[in-house]
A and B are shown apart, each in its own frame.
Chain A
């Protein structure tokens, strides 16, 4: 009689002591202070995903999950842009020193994490990639020729926009668009394209004439100079 009652109770008590009920709090994975957080994924989701997209693509801002971009961009540049932002563009400064939310250590985690997470080792087959940094050597007239060859089929001869198949392509000569874009990002787009939105990179042939050959360092500088020449005088 007693055994019949005691046995289940003892078993239940043993079970309760041995197993972890779902309510038992798991040790914290997130530190107490937000400035002690150094997990790339959490930092990215909190501070970057809004503009650069949840997985680094298909956001309104330039994609960061782009192996070509991560291959050419210097580490120091990533740190600098994260710290200071890009004045005049929607890229805000994120370092606490500049009024942002992140410590220098967190900036470093993000800058390093971009390359470890989304960067790819350079493939030997890839032709010479133009350098990331801006040069002052572009020529607007040569740029026009390069534009006709590399860009006009989608963006129209003057960058006024056009169509690819049945997809409309927006204008890139719009003064407001250019006012919010640094020459650096224009150069970057010329080199990397926007794979997530179907824009080919400096060597891509999609939508380009059959005799198109990869853009050279000089072509990229010329195209950037051309785009810069379209700015309204006030923002040049």
Chain B
């Protein structure tokens, strides 16, 4: 068996003469430290690339069936999900592999940042890397749009509205993105072209450039505290280091291959166990029940935009991402020399910790989005049975009015309902009857969170609703009263 493979290989090699050009690439020396156990830090870039190839393979498979037209895209996704054999699995792998790619790119970038690997002479490698991150996110966004469902539809709407706020050029950008002033027949074609031709083309070109730079300037040696980078002496020192180096083909490549294999296995397992994402509701703007959310790589931005005060909105939308990207691009120029070890770079470690925590918290907030009313709460969330059982007829009517007036969409009872306003399960112990009437009539003072409902509540409804709210107290606790007013005599 082995003899046959070798002779076939030799036959091709005699004609192709690949060895003299490929072998030096594979056998190029890398710093000895990167070939040892510390080499495990260097596997994330190649894993990102492996997932990119998986994306290309599954993407081509999907493109064979998917119809990029606004009236048939949804049906073609359902066809993939339910009728095409293994179509669902292709979609699933494409989604999880894409998610994995975002994860790997971010981990890769964090590792490079923490190890100071972007310092001289690898500034340009970092810049290419930042562009690759942006392109990967671009793929994630355009990919979400191709999953032509309610999330996709409203996601494009939000993206276009944000682009429309760009001074002067805004409308032109929107026109270019959507193929018209609003989402229409050519919108999906535009995003299909972006997702399948334009961004992947750029991505592959930049990956080529990124790899070229990795080859020519070499990968960085594992950082050692007390050995700062000095552009004047670095090249000579690195050259010396490589003399003791190991060939890439060997330990380092094995680690890369092993890790990539594990990543692909995890992706395939997730794809098989959790399955493809969506498509959820129809992309129909007349369906008002839609509750669109961006895909997870953008939840942090969704959270940030939702939580920023109205006055800062345009800045957070337009200036903040630009500042963020420029900041990332400038990293190697702000510090292209000095210590590389994380133990000597507390600011870098802090930036990673604070940045990571911020992203995680904003993602969580975006996921739970407690600021969004739960639009079906009023008719779908039952009044807790214990409250019904202890209520008088008037309080029961009050509870029904409470539901009818949509209070439940923002206010939970026993944790069930909207989270925009406070849970009212024990409001009777906090607010007096008069305070409750004032709050419902006038809302939060100064046009705050709660609107004024005075004009929408009739006197009898107010009476009943406030009676119900006053009755909402932990057992044995008297109604709230103003501290300066003497308690009523029994």
A and B part of one assembly = yes
Contact B383 A60 (CB under 8 A): yes
Chain B residues close to A by CB (< 8 Å) = 78, 81-82, 88-89, 92, 270-276, 281-282, 284, 287, 289, 376-383, 385, 388-389, 391-401, 403-404, 408, 458-461, 463-464, 467-468
Closest to A180 in B: B397
Contact A171 B393 (CB under 8 A): yes
Number of A-B contacts (CB under 8 A): 133
A176 touches B (CB below 8 Å): yes
Contact B464 A177 (CB under 8 A): yes
Docked complex Cα distance between A177 and B400 (Å): 11
In the complex with contacts A23-B92, A180-B401, A49-B380 CB distance below 8 A? yes
A209 touches B (CB below 8 Å): no
Most buried by A among B460, B467, B468: B460
Interface of A (DSSP majority class): loop
Contacts of A58 in B (CB 8 A): 385, 388-389
A179 touches B (CB below 8 Å): yes
In the complex with contacts A22-B275, A197-B389, A32-B397 CB distance below 8 A? no
Contact A21 B287 (CB under 8 A): no
Docked complex Cα distance between A53 and B400 (Å): 11
Q: A-B pairs with the 8 shortest C-beta distances?
A: A170-B392, A23-B275, A60-B399, A179-B460, A176-B463, A90-B400, A21-B272, A176-B460
Contacts of B381 in A (CB 8 A): 49-50
Contact A60 B273 (CB under 8 A): no
Q: A53, A169, A180: which contacts B382 (Cβ < 8 A)?
A: A53
B353 to chain A, nearest CB (A): 34
Contacts of A175 in B (CB 8 A): 460
A228 to chain B, nearest CB (A): 15
Contact A51 B379 (CB under 8 A): yes
A38 touches B (CB below 8 Å): no
Docked complex Cα distance between A171 and B397 (Å): 12
B120 to chain A, nearest CB (A): 47
Q: B88, B281, B461: which contacts A24 (Cβ < 8 A)?
A: B88
Enumerate 18 A-B pairs (CB-CB under 8 Å) in ascending A order.
A21-B273, A23-B271, A24-B275, A45-B380, A46-B379, A50-B403, A53-B382, A58-B385, A58-B389, A60-B388, A60-B396, A60-B397, A90-B461, A92-B404, A170-B391, A174-B394, A176-B397, A180-B400
Closest to A85 in B: B404
Docked complex Cα distance between A90 and B394 (Å): 12
Contact A50 B408 (CB under 8 A): yes
For chain A, give the interface size range: 35 or more
Which of A16-62 touch B at CB < 8 Å? 16, 21-25, 27-28, 32-34, 45-51, 53-54, 58-61
Contact B88 A32 (CB under 8 A): no
Contacts of B287 in A (CB 8 A): 33-34
Docked complex Cα distance between A89 and B400 (Å): 9
Closest to A61 in B: B400
Docked complex Cα distance between A98 and B416 (Å): 28
Contact A51 B403 (CB under 8 A): yes
Docked complex Cα distance between A21 and B385 (Å): 39
Contacts of B379 in A (CB 8 A): 46-51
Docked complex Cα distance between A197 and B387 (Å): 12
Contacts of B393 in A (CB 8 A): 170-172, 174, 177
Contact A53 B82 (CB under 8 A): no
Closest to A34 in B: B289
Contact B380 A60 (CB under 8 A): no
In the complex with contacts A92-B404, A180-B464, A170-B395 CB distance below 8 A? yes
Docked complex Cα distance between A175 and B404 (Å): 20
Contact A50 B394 (CB under 8 A): no
Docked complex Cα distance between A16 and B272 (Å): 9
Contacts of A54 in B (CB 8 A): 382
Contact with B along A81-123 (1 / 0, CB 8 A): 0000000011010000000000000000000000000000000
A161 touches B (CB below 8 Å): yes
Most buried by B among A23, A24, A49, A172: A23
A181 to chain B, nearest CB (A): 7
A168 touches B (CB below 8 Å): yes
